[in-house]
Structure 1
Amino acid sequence: MRILCVDIGTGTQDILLYDSQRELENAYQLVLPSPTMRIARAIRRATRERRAVLLTGVTMGGGPCQWAVEDHLRAGLPVYATPEAARTFNDDLEAVAAMGVRVIREDEAMRLDREVVRLELRDFDWAAIRQAFEAFDVPLRPDGIAVAVFDHGAAPPGVSDRKFRFDLLAQRLAERRDLLAFAYRAEEVPPVFTRMRATVETIRRVFDGPVAAMDTAPAAVLGAILDPQVAAWRRCLVVNVGNFHTLAFRLNEGQVEGLFEHHTGFLDGERLDRLLEGLAGGTLRFEEVFEGMGHGAWLWTTAPMAVEGVAVVGPRRGLLRRSRHPVYMAVPGGDMMLAGCFGLLRAFADLYPEFAPKILEAFQGAPRPAPWEVDRE
């Protein structure tokens, strides 16, 4: 049994090919540039060459590719985009047009000059991933696929994207107060998550097996608690310090008692320490985070928690290296960068119980043949 897990972040896309015949630590892994970084580089090449850009495809992650588009426009060069691609920058197409992007129909895009640099937007690139594995003689024929993307949700006009996303997180936890609340079967992804749905639909064009989708930060936190040391704690904080977003959960026996989400670029070690102190102490308020340009905070209880530890994952985890809290740099499966993928794999087991026994056994460290013995079979 093989499950392909792809955690798509701002800086990197982290890929795990779980194989039930191998030890989890021997699973094939890739850490590659994120799709938005690849598109951003292509746009910047077009800027240097003074060429117009056409964006087609579907809604994907913004950030670097949006910044590249803005720089391209400031250079006085045109950017065209079909409606679904344009929603990468804002679900409100009038707001995209206000940026200077020319939103055009698919038939208009086909008639544009051949000199235009044509870029297809998508978060999941099956052909590229398959080629990467097959270059090393690993056929990519998974039995299931799990993918994680960060999705603000399609906020109504005039509503803050930051607050809208945070309200969606809190609403989900009102229904189920554990980290698996943020995982969905492909057909169950809410329509409000336009990026996640676009990613799932992209996968569906090339794969007809079971597909799971999850938000990136909860996936990384779920992966972190699979580290045996973190799993042994009853009361703890778990933090994912991503390249763009930082999300921290307060957990009591695996149940979420509180959380906050912030933009990593607005944090330093001292400020992050203060937020964690408020989360553990039950004093953190929504306004404290939101007014500091974060998404918000939510507490189920204001009772102080005596935490046994603070588990940290994420590419910017160095912000907490000098923390005054009892920080532990978690390494689920022996690899911090794959925390999101391990979380995705655990969520896949929950969503598709027929796959659960082997996956859960792998997390418990059940013996497997050595890789060279598997390859001889």
Structure 2
Amino acid sequence: MKILAIDVGTGTQDIMLYDSEEPIENAVKLVLPSPTRIIANKIGNHHHDIFLSGETMGGGPVTRAIKRHLDKGYRVVMTKSSARTVRDDLNEVRSAGIEIVDDGEEHPEIAEIKLGDIDLDILKGALQYFDVPLEFDQVGVAVQDHGFLKEMGDRDFRFHKIREKMNAPLLPEEFAFHAEAPDYFTRMQGVLRTLKGYKPTVMDSKFAALCGCTCDPFVEALENFVALDIGNGHTLAASFKDGKICGVFEHHTRMLTPSKIESFISRLVSGEITHEEVHEDGGHGAWVVEPIEGCEIVVATGPRRKIMDRTVYSVYNAAPAGDVMMVGPAGLIRAIMSKRG
């Protein structure tokens, strides 16, 4: 089976084209600038009004580029789907000075930029120069999606849904959605619409990274451990027992210090950590099903993982397929393969 796995981050998009007939180390791998950075640069290069169409995608750099464009006095028009890139609540988008029109509406009088986390045509064009056909049986995409409910903040809503799903220890691949996802995951819905017809697997990028950590042969042999994906924006930690997630906490990376990480990990392992203590500290929250019996080692991944070098823990940097940048794609591949049994 051939699998295309794409982990869309804020800084990079990490891509693996995997063939189950070959060792995973021989898979085609690419680490490219993320779509949100590429589109933010396109917006910055325009010096006139712009029309943004396409799909809901990762915000961050795109949202900041739009704000700068508005501050320069230019007009910004967005379709409803693309506007959810800025905020899921479209009234908040309008209040920022952005004009919103219906999906499918055209504005030929101003320059158009199409938004989206996935562009298979561009990927196909890049690969053809290396005589690599973009052929696959299954496709998986990981994006960070906290979900949206107007009546609840995204931090609370994210952990509300985690608690709903994780009423017992779960394999990390069980956090994937195959061919469809709940409507409240608006960014995943954008990916599903883009890849309509392919029946893709979609997964939150944080859980895809945790899943990918377990693909590392060293990690596979562990019984009790804690894994952290320490990203540029967010850090998600999970306690594992016998390959299953028993508890998690999530925080903003910039707010974490080595001593704070040590305290949270210790309380995650013991099962004493609470949602309130993480949330009140400015993080997203925590949820523990059951404690684990000690921690053999801390497994780390993500671009900010070096912070773990200043903690008391012995740290192992996960590198499935021999490449730390392929943690997310490896997790997606495991999720897809597990669905097939």
Q: TM-score with structure 2 length normalisation?
A: 0.95
Structure 1: tracts of 5 or more residues without a match: 354-377
Secondary structure, counterpart of 1:39 in structure 2: helix
Which of 296, 321, 326 is equivalent to 1:308? 296
Equivalent position SS for 2:126: helix
**Does structure 2 retain, via aligned residues, the 8 Å contact 1:224–1:311?**
yes
CA distance in 2: counterparts of 1:191 and 1:272, whole angstroms: 33
Aligned equivalents of 1:95, 1:318: Cα separation in 2: 37
User: Structure 1, residues 39-84: CA drift from partner, whole Å, max 9, x if none?
Assistant: 11111222xx3x1121101111111111111222222222110111
Tell me the CA shift for residue 105 of structure 1: 3.0
Percent of aligned pairs with the same amino acid = 39
1:134-149 → structure 2 map (5 Å cutoff): 134-149=128-143
Correspondence 1:274 to 2:263: yes
Tell me the distance in 2 between the aligned counterparts of 1:134 and 1:92: 40
* SS class of match (2:193): helix
- Asked whether 1:191 is paired with 2:180, we answer no
1:6 and 1:106 mapped to 2: Cα distance?
A: 26
Residue in 1 aligned with 2:113? 119
Q: Distance in 2 between the 1:209 and 1:160 partners?
A: 32
Task: Report what 1:371 is aligned to.
Answer: none
Which structure has more helix as a fraction of its residues? 1
Give, in angstroms, the shift of residue 305 of structure 1. Answer: 3.5
Contact 1:282 1:305 (C-alpha < 8 Å) held by counterparts? no
1:110 aligned to 2:106? yes
Task: State the match for 1:296 in structure 2.
Answer: 285
> What count of residue pairs does the alignment treat as equivalent?
341
Q: CA deviation at 1:35?
A: 1.0
1:309-348 to structure 2, matched below 5 A, reads 309-348=297-336
Match of 2:147 in 1: 153
Q: RMSD in angstroms over aligned alpha carbons?
A: 1.7
Residue equivalent to 2:161 = 168
Letter in 1 for 2:303: P
Q: 2:172 aligns with which of 165, 179, 187?
A: 179
* Offset of residue 175 of structure 1: 6.7
Q: Under a length normalisation based on structure 1, what TM-score does the superposition of the two structures give?
A: 0.86
- Where does residue 192 of structure 2 map in the other structure? 200
Aligned equivalent of 1:361: none
Residues 172 and 181, structure 1, Cα contact 8 Å, conserved in 2: no
Judge conservation of contact 1:143–1:210 (CA < 8 Å) in 2.
no
Take 2:143 and 2:15, find their aligned partners in 1: how far apart are those partners?
A: 13
Structure 2 unaligned segments of length 5 or more: list them. Answer: none
Deviates most, 272-281 or 194-203: 272-281
Quote the residue 1:36 is aligned against: 36
